[in-house]
């Protein structure tokens, strides 16, 4: 399930070292992040000033997390950078001043797992790295602000039952248990899930995996709770 609490500022040393990549066009920031990661027991595979340089430097290796600055000096686009570094099989954590809400929202829409401000204490940044490495979506204040700030952020028009299915499934229940809890057949629950995915594709926000569905549910306010005002829509 999604946690709305801030990451634990004192993460324990992971059993298996977290592999990290860093993209920031300021050398002092790169070196500072690298030192903080290494002090936390993480392994920094590569650090670079551009997304392309990082991908080239990784040479096929996959990180657990790539810490990515939003505004790079090479003129590259936010969406392109997120897609490029994510193509290595790594989760993406945006590390930025985060004052450009539209850019933050763009990064989240492109698939970033979360955003952590550069003003955060180092321990908080390292805790965020650990959270994203575990596969968690970093649903913090910056995430919520980015989503709430733009009312044009397309929402899939889900019916009440579709929202129920998405709420339970994205919260972590197996589809069989979702069906049991809602009192419907497993095949019916599967049909609802298929329709949910189709609707997200139709608004340009595909959700092919369970993690993607979790992200959409958070973006649309379906998690942590259902919005009663939307509950009467027909399926």
pLDDT tens for the chain, 235 residues long, are 444 444 544 444 444 689 999 999 999 999 999 999 999 999 999 999 999 999 999 999 999 999 999 889 899 999 999 999 999 989 999 998 866 777 887 888 788 888 898 889 999 999 999 999 888 767 666 666 665 555 555 566 777 788 889 999 998 899 999 999 999 999 999 999 998 998 888 777 888 888 889 988 888 878 854 333 333 333 3
Whole-Å CA distances, 112 to 143, 188, 205: 10, 31, 13
How would you classify the pairing of strands 19-23 and 43-48? Answer: parallel
Whole-Å CA distances, 129 to 53, 85, 134, 154: 21, 15, 9, 28
Q: For the chain, what is the largest distance between any 2 Cα atoms, rounded to a whole number of angstroms? A: 57
CATH superfamily, domain at 19-148:
Response regulator (3.40.50.2300)
CATH 3.40.50.2300 boundaries in the chain = 19-148
Burial class (CB in 10 A: 0-12, 13-18, 19+), 163: buried
What is the CATH class of 160-230?
mainly alpha
Tokens of 171: 């919260």
128 contacts: CB under 8 Å, gap ≥ 6:
7, 93, 114, 116, 120, 138, 140
Q: Cα(first)–Cα(last) distance of the chain, in Å?
A: 25
Q: pTM here? A: 0.61
pLDDT score at 2: 40
pLDDT score at 165: 93
pLDDT score at 144: 60
**Which sign, positive or negative, has the C-alpha torsion 120, 143, 13, 10?**
positive
CATH 1.10.10.10 boundaries in the chain = 160-230
Is residue 229 within 8 A of residue 133, CB to CB? The reply is: no
**Which sign, positive or negative, has the C-alpha torsion 176, 179, 184, 190?**
negative
DSSP label at residue 189? H
């Amino acid at each position: 399930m999604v946690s709305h609490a801030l990451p634990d500022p004192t993460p324990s040393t992971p059993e298996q070292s977290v592999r990290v990549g860093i993209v920031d066009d300021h050398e002092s920031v790169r070196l500072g992040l690298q030192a903080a990661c290494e002090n936390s027991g993480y392994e920094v595979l590569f650090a670079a000033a551009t997304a392309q340089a990082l991908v080239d430097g990784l040479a096929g290796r996959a990180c657990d997390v790539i810490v990515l600055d939003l505004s790079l000096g090479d003129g590259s686009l936010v969406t392109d950078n997120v897609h490029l570094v994510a193509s290595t099989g790594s989760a993406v954590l945006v590390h930025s001043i985060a004052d450009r809400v539209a850019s933050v929202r763009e990064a989240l829409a492109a698939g970033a797992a979360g955003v952590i401000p550069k003003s955060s204490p180092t321990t908080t940044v390292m805790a965020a790295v650990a959270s994203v490495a575990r596969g968690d979506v970093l649903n913090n204040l910056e995430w919520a602000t980015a989503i709430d700030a733009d009312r044009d952020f397309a929402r899939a028009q889900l019916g009440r039952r579709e929202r129920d299915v998405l709420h339970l499934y994205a919260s972590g229940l197996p589809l069989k248990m979702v069906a049991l809890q809602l009192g419907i057949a497993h095949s019916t629950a599967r049909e609802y899930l298929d329709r949910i995915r189709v609707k997200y594709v139709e608004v340009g926000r595909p959700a092919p995996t369970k993690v993607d569905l979790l992200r959409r549910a958070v973006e649309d306010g379906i998690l942590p709770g259902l919005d009663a005002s939307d509950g009467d829509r027909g399926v």
